[in-house]
Amino acid sequence: MKISKSKFVGIFVISALAFQLISNSFLSDEPGIFPINNEWYPGLNTGETWKSSIAKIIHPLKIILVGPPSLIFNDPDPVPPILLFGFCTYWATLAILIYYIITLFQRKTLKA
């Protein structure tokens, strides 16, 4: 892999934040990175067909990106910096794991 681990983690965390912002802005009533009313998966139970369809398509990705930390941060009024720090820590750990798996597969293919 031609990219450093720190650059990969940075790009992954920024992309996850952008994905959260864009998906929550399109699918919920109030735009933002984190939902205000603890609706972590917006758009699933809405009457609008296009919102429901998009929500069903991106739901598996949101389960991976938001699922485990949303169980921990289920406080109705959390402190925003702690919420952001917790999610960024989770996403950084996930990015390091993905980076390790990619480099592991690349090493196997280079040896073969």
DSSP 15-84: HHHHHHHHHHHHHSSS-SSS-SSS-SSTTTT-S-HHHHHHHHHHHHHHHHHHHHHHHH---SS--HHHHH
For the cut 90, the answer to whether the pLDDT of residue 110 exceeds it is: no
Predicted confidence (pLDDT) at residue 16 exceeds the cutoff of 70: yes
Q: What is Dmax (Cα atoms) for the chain?
A: 53
How does pLDDT run across 88-98, given as a tens digit for each residue?
A: 888 899 999 99
Check residue 50 and give its pLDDT.
Answer: 78
| Residue 77 pLDDT exceeds 90 | no
pTM (predicted TM-score)? 0.77
**pLDDT band at residue 112 under the 50/70/90 scheme:** low
Return the pLDDT at 22: 85
Q: Which distant-in-sequence residues (6+ apart) come within 8 Å of 49 by Cβ? A: none
Q: How far apart are the first and last CA of the chain?
A: 17
pLDDT at 76 over 90: no
Please count the other Cβ atoms lying within 10 Å of the Cβ belonging to residue 49.
8
**pLDDT reading at 35 higher than 70:** no
